[in-house]
């Protein structure tokens, strides 16, 4: 079911303001918007909700392909920023410390230490992807855990078994 109040994606134009925010131009109306991804794991890159400062939906973009080239580029960059999560490339320490699991990992973004609750387990992204959420709510992604180095796999396997 498609909402009748939404502007047509083809008529929607997106641009970056000098301060880095995204501005939507629709029916002659300019609105600063933020990106909300409806299905960040199930269908990333589709059903992107653009919302104004008061959290009112300005547009729901079902598919980025319906946008013009420049708008698509703006949205895709915005999506990368909004969907940012740490990507683990190696696990150096993974141990239990009184009801929490302590992690020391190498990420694409740099070295991080974080903790997960003892009885908390990763969300699996088939076929071999893992999403780990730490106690503060930060998300760590492992696109394919079988591709990690041997020590990392060993640590992870003991945790996943």
Partner 1 sequence: MTSHTQRSKRLEHYTGHAVTLPDSIARVVARETDEPTQVLYGLSDLDPSLHTAETWCVLTPRYCCIVPPAPDPPTTFRRDAVQKVALTVGLSGNELRIWGAHADLLATLRFSHRQRPAMESIKYLLEEPEAEAPGTAPDTLFQRGLWRPIEEAQAAVSESGTGLLLRLLGYMAPYKKRFAAGILSGLLLALLQLVPPYLTGYLIDSVLRPVESGTRLAIEARPMALWLVFLLGITYAGTQFVAWVRMRSMALLGEFVARDLRKAAYDHLQRLSLSFYSTKQTGSLISRVSSDTDRLWEFVAWGLVDFLVSMLTLAGLTGVLLYLDWRLGLVMTLPMPVVLTILYLYGRRMHHLFGNAWRRWGKLTAVLADSIPGIRVVKAFNQEHREQDRFGTSNAEVCTSFNQIHRTWTSFWPFLWFSIQSMTLAVWFFAMPRLLGYSPTATPLTVGVFVSFTLYMGMYLHPIEILGRLTFILNRATSSAHRVFEILDSEPDIVEADAPTRLEPVEGHVRFDKVSFAYDGVRSILKNISFDVQPGEMIGLVGPSGAGKSTITNLIARFYDPTHGQITIDGVDVRDLALGHYRRQLGIVLQDPHLFHGSILDNIRYGMPEADLKAVIEAARVANAHDFICQLPLGYDTTVGERGHTLSGGERQRISIARALLCNPRVLILDEATSSVDTETEHKIQEALDKLVEGRTVFAIAHRLSTLRRANRLFVVDEGRIAEEGTHAELLANDDGVYSRLVRMQQELHEMYIA
What is the binding site for partner 1 (CB under 8 A)?
18-21, 34, 40, 53, 81-86, 97-100, 102, 104, 107, 109-119, 121, 134-139, 158, 161
Which CB, 68 or 83, lies closer to partner 1? 83
Q: How far is CA 26 from CA 11, 69, 76, 126, in A?
A: 7, 16, 18, 38
Least distance from partner 1 to the Cβ atom of residue 157, Å: 11
Least distance from partner 1 to the Cβ atom of residue 17, Å: 9
Which CB, 11 or 92, lies closer to partner 1? 92
Which CB, 72 or 102, lies closer to partner 1? 102
Which CB, 73 or 104, lies closer to partner 1? 104
Whether the CB-CB separation of 127 and 120 falls below 8 Å is answered with: no
What is the distance between the alpha carbons of residues 41 and 96, in angstroms, rounded to a whole number? 28
Instruction: Count Cβ atoms below 10 Å from residue 4 Cβ, excluding itself.
Output: 5
Least distance from partner 1 to the Cβ atom of residue 109, Å: 5
Which CB, 19 or 150, lies closer to partner 1? 19
Whether the CB-CB separation of 115 and 103 falls below 8 Å is answered with: yes
Least distance from partner 1 to the Cβ atom of residue 21, Å: 7
Least distance from partner 1 to the Cβ atom of residue 11, Å: 25
Q: What DSSP letter does each residue of 6-67 carry, written as one string? A: SPPGGG-EEEE-TTS-EEEEETTEEEEEEEEES-TTTSTTEEEEEE-TTS-EEEEEEEGGGS
């Amino acid at each position: 079911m498609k909402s009748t109040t939404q502007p047509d994606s083809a008529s929607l134009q997106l641009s970056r303001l000098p301060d880095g925010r995204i501005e939507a131009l629709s029916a002659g109306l300019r609105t600063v918007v933020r990106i909300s991804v409806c299905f960040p794991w199930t269908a990333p890159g589709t059903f992107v909700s653009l919302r104004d400062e008061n959290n009112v939906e300005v547009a729901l973009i079902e598919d980025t392909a319906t946008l013009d080239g420049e708008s698509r580029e703006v949205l895709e960059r915005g999506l990368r920023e909004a969907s940012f999560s740490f990507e683990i490339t190696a696990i150096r320490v993974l141990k239990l410390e009184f009801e929490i699991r302590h992690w020391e990992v190498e990420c694409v973004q740099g070295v991080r230490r974080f903790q997960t609750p003892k009885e908390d387990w990763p969300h699996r992204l088939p076929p071999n992807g893992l999403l780990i959420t730490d106690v503060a709510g930060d998300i760590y992604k492992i696109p394919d855990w079988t591709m990690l180095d041997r020590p990392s796999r060993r640590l992870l396997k003991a945790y996943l078994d």
